Amino acid sequence: MATPRSGPYIWVTWLSKLLVGDAYCEWAAWFKAHYTEYARVPSSFNLAAWQVDHTAMLTTVREGLEASGADVSLEVVSAYVDQTPEGDLSQSRAKEFPHMKIYPTVADALTLGTDQLAVDGILLIGEHGTYPNNDKGQKLYPRYELFKQIVSVFRTTGTTCPVFNDKHLSWNWDWAKEMYDTSQEMNFAFMAGSSLPVTYRNPQIDFPYGATLTEAQCVGYGGVDSYDFHALETIQCMVERRQGGETGVQWMETYRGDTFWDAHASGLWSRDLFEAALCRSHTLTPARPGFNNPFPTIDELVHLVESPVAYQYEHHDGLRSTMILMNGLVQDFNFAARIKGRDTPFSTQMYLPMPPARTTLANFFSPLVNNVEQMFLTGKATYPVERTLLTSGLVIAGVDSLHQDQVRIETPHLNTAYQATEDSTFWRT
């Protein structure tokens, strides 16, 4: 059994191997600095097998250290940057944190220039840079392309580790499904998505697990093929908790401009849920000058919101969900739902601290990073990646419907059924 040292103790030779690349496990150097009388590696040590089991071994060590009261953290050791446009922070971050090295390829970043996987978790952020749009207006971010390069390293080295993909999986459904299928085939922890499902809530409530749900809405803001994803994730992280779990989506229909107002006036989506969601907003635009609180009438909504958008879709179990973007009216994301046996709507706001509307401090990524770190440390996703597979498909269906003059899109491919975990992951204060 290893015995803790009275204080950190380091031989220069321990560090020299790290510096010249003969060793790349900083944990080993740290452990030797803090512990003594531990079992030495025998001369018959199998380096290849050790590298394959590296993540599991680190997890075991971490759990033991935390059980003894130690505080164990993560470090970013490498990065690959596809583009460096104006305002890029990668170079300044590399100078600020010299232990983080920027490599010329994805493979080099994951192996630290060796022939073996040398990291214990991968963060894939595929939207920084200048990328083209297709004729549908979709931004062709290279998430899939970068994912394929990651998987290539996994296959070459025979080793995997957890991967987090920021936001939706891909603008192409076949690619998104392939990413999911690959993670299942190779059995590595895979997670993706928006900050909205895991951020703060006001009030701090969760959808009752196993409750019967008949209708759900999210009123948010932003653009198509961008913030629509966040609003859809807001809905999905709630409705997946309903009785029977998620069943998949069978069709989607979209509404924009005059078509939206006609649908809204006709009650295609419930007015009381719409108003319950608006009542949670902290950024509701005053409908009349000099008055802060009056609830907007339909005529005032038409004046405030130039181009509203709605996606309405039906799940296989009959649940109807509606995502509504109201630019000019709100600058936050608000959820409302109808629960069987409950007289009043269930509603809450996904509070995202983001300047300038809600705070001076941009702290909207921290709750998501917390979940990412937990996955890296445990090797297990904190919430189902099937959620983001489904919402990725919903964004694509919404874009397709709008591109085709708002026709109904049948979605037999969105048959993603799954059961959410009972433990919720939203950020509590």
Q: What is the DSSP string of 234-272?
A: HHHHHHTTSTT-B--EEEEEEEETHHHHHHHHHTSS-HH
pLDDT of residue 23: 54
pLDDT of residue 249: 98
Predicted confidence (pLDDT) at residue 46 exceeds the cutoff of 60? no
Show the tokens assigned to 33: 């600095």
Beta strand 213-220 pairing with 333-339: antiparallel
Kind and range of the H or E run holding 214: strand 213-220
Predicted confidence (pLDDT) at residue 90 exceeds the cutoff of 80? yes
**pLDDT (average), residues 246-250:** 97
**pLDDT (average), residues 197-208:** 93
Residues 6+ apart with CB under 8 A from 235: 216, 217, 218, 321, 323, 335
Tens digits of residue pLDDT in 110-155: 999 999 999 999 999 988 888 999 999 999 999 999 999 999 999 9
| 418 — pLDDT class (breaks 50, 70, 90) | very high
Out of 18-32, 47-61, 123-137, 228-242, give the one with best mean pLDDT.
228-242
Show the tokens assigned to 304: 């405030």
Percentage of the chain beyond pLDDT 70 is: 87
**pLDDT (average), residues 372-387:** 93
| 59 — pLDDT class (breaks 50, 70, 90) | low
Predicted confidence (pLDDT) at residue 24 exceeds the cutoff of 50? no
Which of the two residues, 139 and 40, has the higher pLDDT score? 139
**pLDDT (average), residues 19-42:** 63
**pLDDT (average), residues 156-164:** 95
Tens digits of residue pLDDT in 291-304: 776 788 888 999 99
Identify the structural domains of the chain with CATH numbers, from first to last.
3-67 (no CATH), 78-193 (3.40.50.720), 198-363+383-410 (3.30.360)
Backbone φ/ψ region at 130: left (φ over 0), alpha (ψ -120 to 50), beta: beta
Predicted confidence (pLDDT) at residue 20 exceeds the cutoff of 50? no
d(CA 284, CA 133): 32
Position of tokens 């192996």? Answer: 111
d(CA 429, CA 420): 23
Tens digits of residue pLDDT in 265-318: 999 999 999 999 999 999 999 888 777 767 888 889 999 998 999 999 999 999
Q: What pTM was computed for the model?
A: 0.82
> 31, 38 in Cβ contact below 8 A?
yes
pLDDT of residue 67: 76
**pLDDT (average), residues 176-193:** 97
Chain-centroid distance, C-alpha 262? 34
pLDDT of residue 355: 78
pLDDT of residue 4: 79
d(CA 130, CA 402): 24
Kind and range of the H or E run holding 278: helix 271-278
Which of the two residues, 4 and 277, has the higher pLDDT score? 277
Instruction: Indicate the average pLDDT of the chain.
Output: 88
| 18 — pLDDT class (breaks 50, 70, 90) | low
pLDDT of residue 308: 97
> 205, 215 in Cβ contact below 8 A?
no
Tens digits of residue pLDDT in 325-336: 999 999 999 999
Supply φ then ψ for residue 409, to 5 degrees.
-110, 120
Q: Lowest-pLDDT range, 146-160, 250-264, 356-370, 383-397?
A: 356-370
Show the tokens assigned to 379: 């090797």
CA dihedral 354, 356, 358, 361 (to 10 degrees): 50
Tens digits of residue pLDDT in 335-379: 999 999 999 999 999 998 877 777 777 777 888 988 998 899 889
